[in-house]
Structure 1
Amino acid sequence: MNTIITVFLFLIPIFLLLTRRKRSSEKLPPGSLGLPVIGQSLSLLRAMRANTAEEWLRERIRKYGPISKMSLFGKPAVFIYGQAANKFVFQSDSSTIVNQQVKSIRAILGDRCILELIGEDHKRVRDALVSFLKPESLKEYVGKMDEEVRMHLEMHWHGKQQVKVLPLMKTLTFNIICTLLFGLERGPRREILVDDFQCMIEGMWSIPLNLPFTRYSRSLKASARAQKILQGLINEKRLALQQKKTASPRQDLISCMLSIYNDKNEQVISDKEIIHNVMLVMVAGYDTSSVLLTFLVRLLANDPAIYAAVLQEQELIAKSKANGEFLTWEDLAKMKYTWKVAMETLRLFPPIFGGFRKAVKDIEYDGYLIPKDWNIFWVTGMTQMDDTIFPEPSKFDPTRFENPASIPPYCFIPFGGGPRICPGYEFARIETLVSIHYLVTRFTWKLLCSDNFFCRDPMPVPTKGLPAQISPRKLL
């Protein structure tokens, strides 16, 4: 009898464990995790490069519904879709989900950037970034932005008959960031750094196998080289700040972050945090802004009526300026239609395809279980092309943004939302408006590639880098 009781007591926890596992398994979203490590990564990346990634995901939605499980970049994930999914991602606090990226992004950008930090650490570092990037601070940098754009056009556009738009826009945004945000002078270090950042970006969405022939491996090496250069730059700026006569805390983002001290006279942001967040800002500003500007050029070339309206707005501002006078914050406030065109461009061609969060505990969502430590994968652009939200979603129509309140919340979120909204939003707006002002008032252009195809690698890349024939406009 004692033996039977002992066996029975031994079997109870096993039975409960199996029952719990079965119950949890039944609550998992539909779908498959695929092959170990690889999962659906290669399939998604192929679809992105063929510009069929949205259809790839719609097929999943048709098959499994708005929530399904998969495996991406070496980790199980739950794909969620729709307005409710976007709201869940941006409204949940760190007790439910955290903003942890996949291993490839985390390893390349670093684990102390604001994409990875949570709680007080996130607030501390974000506040430091915002102190420099907030509108009140950026007002004084419009003139420097203006100067950079004019210099770029003089060097790379004037006197040319043909250009490749995307590479030149990347050159422009990189130089703007180096000058305004990091105070890095033109020269060999800039040239090395731009190559390293391009290599880093290529491996950010990749299977994290550190083998010599992989993009991931090349990106890790490029990241290490970039971090070494940035540490040297930090050392130089710290020395300049200590000498005081040669530097100001407000002259660039790195100097600003180095100048933040607490009550104990301790540096609030560590060197490692500065490096990792500088790399994040560099990647975001370099690639996403250049993509927006490139597709703006393409869309204006393909739509004469929209182009004429933008030109009219910008010529009125140009006529109000004395010869050689820089644009001002007040001038940017008058570019309302141009910014609507930019927002519609972001809706149709979002630079960032999707994002990741990590569940910090088992989560019940839409009747299914998202297990602890699984990634949550969502694609913001899916709602932007939903015809129940944006009628005729493929049509380029800037009037959609005449009344932003008419757009349902969490359906158009090109800069994120909630406490993690992109701190560089205003910087991107200034950069875009200043660049477009000088492009449309000083040049006309005609595209030399008739197809409208682009691939994602992982950012949108138009065919052949968008070659265009350009002609100078007569200055007013």
Structure 2
Amino acid sequence: MFEDIIYFTLWGLFPLLLLLVSFHFLRHEHRCKDKRKLPPGEMGLPLIGETMEFFNAQRRNKLYEEFFHPRILKHGKIFRTRIMGSPTVVVNGAEANKFLLSNEFKLVKSSWPSSSVELMGRDSIMEKDGERHRFLRGVIGTSLGYAGLELLVPKLCNSVQFHLATNWKGKKNLRIHRSTKVLSFSIVFECLLGIKVEPGMLDTFERVLEGVFSPAVMFPGSKFWRAKKARVEIEKMLVKVVREKREEMERSLEREQDGMLLSKLVSGMIQGEISEKEVIDNVVLLVFAAHDTTSFAVAMTFKMLSQHPDCYGKILQEHVGIMSNKTRGENLTMEDIKKMKYTWQVARESMRLFPPIFGSFRKAITDIEYEGFIIPRGWKVLWTTYGTHYNEEYFKDPMSFKPSRFEEGVAQYAFVPFGGGPRVCAGYQLAKLNILIFVHYVVTQYEWFLLHPDEPVTMDPLPFPSLGMPIRISPKHA
């Protein structure tokens, strides 16, 4: 109801807005003419541009087929458009990805919609540049480097086994995407941060996620309004946890003694290196970055295994081999993880075909000359996973599922499900552990099959199986 009122009010003012924006647009185009060789493309209507085509394709998870691919065929790998009110240059290909992502802070900077910034936090590493970004990422990285991950492996094993015992045991059917969401959420909070997950926390976080790409309009009933309310709830909870942790650590003679990421962040806060707001915002961002993309990657891995029984057979053989060298109840180690080479090939091939993100926006902080074109300062630049993942140049027969293609090296910046450069996903290795450990315990303990093999994937705002990927399970005999 309220959203309808806003909708019709805005459309009532649209002719005037269109006139003003058209005037500004024509002046800008005239000013640029003859001075800059812009990439080819169509800007669509002033203000709106091709936003509706972009969002409609995104909602159906058809961005490549309906938006990117037709324009690549028409204009080439680099083309211009207008999305969400901003003139945007879309670049495709490993060289373009490398050029763009490796020049973070020099030629481009992160550029997210205002709603995303408000909900994720202005003091998260998502919004930090240069030295401050490097410092905060360094603090987070201490828990996600090899030594930190090695300490996490037994905790992850215990979490996965507990999750299966409490959420899978005795059931015939379940939704694997929802199940892995619950699991990855608890892993981030309890194993990485050391914060106990309380009932309702996941639902509150998901209400925030629903508004990250919606118009930043604080009108009662709107998606952003509901998301902002949920963000306030989360912030109150985290402020309480952080302040209690600070008091506990200030009373203690040794800091960071539990090795948890929250302890490292709070230690930095005690030393005056990090503000309380930075701790809160980076915890919020980390939870979103780690749990949603991981659960989708796991779901798509199981989808591919169900459709390719030969691959499932090889994976099962790999994990039975690992299990045969363990005593009953013994946890996995990092050495066991290293042996899961084929499993990781399957997971990577699943993420290639079903990337957890479609790409990311940057903003040109200076005029950029690339491939004979000029990307003007202030324009948005969008790199895409599809530009390489679905490209015959980098992956032969790209729409086929072939895990063995990862046995040999893949071109740098061609496989980018978690980005690249200085802003490559900090939780990439944690996601890898999460996927491999979960696959190990499921394939060695359960038989399963998909109830809806042709279930479509949709986006809102991130990709997910539209039915939650229901499966039928039965325990394996020892």
TM-score, with normalisation over the residues of structure 1? 0.89
> Are the equivalent residues in 1 in contact too, given 2:216–2:224 (CA < 8 A)?
yes
Cα distance in 2, alignment partners of residues 70 and 192 from structure 1? 41
Cα distance in 2, alignment partners of residues 459 and 401 from structure 1? 25
TM-superposed deviation, 1:93: 4.1
Q: 2:61 aligns with which of 51, 54, 74?
A: 51
**Worse overlay, 393-402 or 58-67:** 58-67
* Percent identical residues: 37
Cα distance in 2, alignment partners of residues 79 and 381 from structure 1? 11
Aligned to 1:200: 208
Q: 2:181 aligns with which of 151, 157, 170?
A: 170
Aligned to 1:14: none
| Residues 13-40 of structure 1: CA deviation (Å, up to 9, x unaligned) | xxxx999814367623333444555433
Cα distance in 2, alignment partners of residues 88 and 213 from structure 1? 42
TM-superposed deviation, 1:193: 2.6
Cα distance in 2, alignment partners of residues 20 and 31 from structure 1? 17
Cα distance in 2, alignment partners of residues 374 and 442 from structure 1? 52
The answer to whether residue 86 in structure 2 is matched with residue 78 in structure 1 is: no
Q: 1:402 aligns with which of 397, 400, 407?
A: 407
> Are the equivalent residues in 2 in contact too, given 1:73–1:207 (CA < 8 A)?
no
> Are the equivalent residues in 2 in contact too, given 1:77–1:375 (CA < 8 A)?
yes
* Residues 195-344 of structure 1: pairs in structure 2 closer than 5 A: 195-244=203-252, 248-260=256-268, 266-344=271-349
TM-superposed deviation, 1:288: 0.5
| Residues 28-72 of structure 1: CA deviation (Å, up to 9, x unaligned) | 333344455543333212112222210111112223322222233
**Worse overlay, 388-397 or 451-460:** 451-460
Q: Letter of the aligned partner of 2:357 in structure 1? A: I
Aligned to 1:446: 449
The answer to whether residue 186 in structure 2 is matched with residue 181 in structure 1 is: no
Aligned to 1:39: 49
Cα distance in 2, alignment partners of residues 107 and 181 from structure 1? 24
Partner of 1:465, secondary structure, is coil
**Worse overlay, 421-430 or 191-200:** 191-200
Q: 1:349 aligns with which of 354, 358, 374?
A: 354
Aligned to 1:433: 436
The answer to whether residue 141 in structure 2 is matched with residue 133 in structure 1 is: no
Aligned to 1:110: 121
Aligned to 1:11: none
TM-superposed deviation, 1:248: 4.0
Aligned to 1:150: 161
TM-superposed deviation, 1:403: 1.6
Cα distance in 1, alignment partners of residues 69 and 230 from structure 2? 35
Cα distance in 2, alignment partners of residues 245 and 266 from structure 1? 14
The answer to whether residue 420 in structure 2 is matched with residue 412 in structure 1 is: no
Task: Structure 1: state its 5+ residue gaps.
Answer: 1-16
Aligned to 2:15: none
Distance 1:285 1:378, change over 3 A: same
The CA RMSD over aligned residues, in Å, is 2.2
TM-superposed deviation, 1:361: 1.4
Q: 2:469 aligns with which of 463, 466, 469?
A: 466
> Are the equivalent residues in 1 in contact too, given 2:319–2:340 (CA < 8 A)?
yes
**Worse overlay, 21-30 or 126-135:** 21-30
Aligned to 1:64: 75
| Residues 242-284 of structure 1: CA deviation (Å, up to 9, x unaligned) | 22279744442111111137xxx73212111111111111001
> Are the equivalent residues in 1 in contact too, given 2:255–2:267 (CA < 8 A)?
no
> Are the equivalent residues in 2 in contact too, given 1:201–1:219 (CA < 8 A)?
yes
Q: Letter of the aligned partner of 1:231 in structure 2? A: V
Q: Letter of the aligned partner of 1:214 in structure 2? A: S
TM-score, with normalisation over the residues of structure 2? 0.89
Cα distance in 1, alignment partners of residues 340 and 28 from structure 2? 63
> Are the equivalent residues in 1 in contact too, given 2:152–2:192 (CA < 8 A)?
no
TM-superposed deviation, 1:360: 0.8
Q: Letter of the aligned partner of 1:450 in structure 2? A: P
Q: Letter of the aligned partner of 2:87 in structure 1? A: P
TM-superposed deviation, 1:327: 1.1
TM-superposed deviation, 1:436: 0.6
Cα distance in 1, alignment partners of residues 28 and 436 from structure 2? 60
Partner of 1:309, secondary structure, is helix
Cα distance in 2, alignment partners of residues 275 and 24 from structure 1? 48
Cα distance in 1, alignment partners of residues 197 and 104 from structure 2? 42
Larger Rg: 1
Q: Letter of the aligned partner of 2:174 in structure 1? A: V
Aligned to 1:380: 385
TM-superposed deviation, 1:135: 1.1
| Residues 150-179 of structure 1: CA deviation (Å, up to 9, x unaligned) | 010011111000011111110110111110
**Worse overlay, 421-430 or 172-181:** 421-430
> Are the equivalent residues in 2 in contact too, given 1:73–1:208 (CA < 8 A)?
no
